[in-house]
Chains A and B, each alone.
Chain A
């Protein structure tokens, strides 16, 4: 499945180790344009500054969670079509259903592997 490897990706996680893991996995997949933010507020500011082809976000962050970020993104006229993947340890079915209702494109439960991340990116962004 063809992926646009030049598209900028925004990784949102308050754990720098997780950001680094996702960055490395994305690099292995061929993505070079990767930015990061440590919570929803910072992510929202970045999303307003640059057009991203994909957001990969954690759920549990302070002060703005990934779930709140998702709702902000879907409510914003300019951002609402941005593909959004939740990568989180919040694995309760009610969380998944709520995220789906809020408009998430896909959902990955931590810990995950490179193959899962790749398949979800392909499912969401593949042409």
Chain B
């Protein structure tokens, strides 16, 4: 078997062509990357959608807390009502307050739906971008994030589990024998 060794003149001729081809590919890739970055609409996300999500979720927390307080105040007031005439009317009045407070669920549901829609859009755009640029995750993470994860792991801050995975109170009682 013999290997064809290019003559010096051929190398000199092919090299610029190869470099030009490579540079063209890089230029095309950069143009493609710019298109994909543009399609992410990152400014719209950081200027409008993410602040909106913060605001909506903040409102949900406030509305939920407000409604819970109203309901609890009405329930506590009912518990301390004296027996006797007027008891039923007083209970009915507070029950109506509870019904009114429960209207928060409709409004918070709509607010959460807006946030979910933004997250869905964000996920869609990010997935398209990751696919288009064949992005790979960096091996290292932010030190603050690492510290947060380490603390959560040490102190077992797992949070509530997803529905269906939650052990019942009976399962837990069994662990205590």
The yes or no verdict on A and B being binding partners is yes
| Chain A residues engaging chain B, CB cutoff 8 angstroms | 17, 20-21, 24, 28, 59-60, 65, 67-68, 89-98, 100, 106-110, 112, 116
Selected contact of B158 from candidates A68, A92, A100, A109, CB within 8 Å: A92
B155 at the binding interface (Cβ < 8 Å): yes
Q: How large is the interface on B (under 10, 10 to 19, 20 to 34, 35 or more residues)?
A: 20 to 34
Q: How many A-B residue pairs have CB under 8 A?
A: 62
Selected contact of A90 from candidates B69, B75, B156, CB within 8 Å: B156
B156 engages A95 (CB within 8 Å):
yes
Q: A92-B161, A98-B156 are in contact. Are A108 and B169 (CB under 8 A)?
A: yes
Selected contact of A95 from candidates B69, B72, B158, B176, CB within 8 Å: B158
1/0 per residue, CB under 8 A from A, across B33-48: the answer is 0000000000000000
The 8 closest A-B CB pairs, nearest first, are: A89-B160, A92-B158, A17-B68, A65-B155, A91-B166, A95-B156, A96-B172, A96-B175
Selected contact of B172 from candidates A24, A59, A65, A107, CB within 8 Å: A107
In angstroms, Cα B69 to Cα A98, docked, is 34
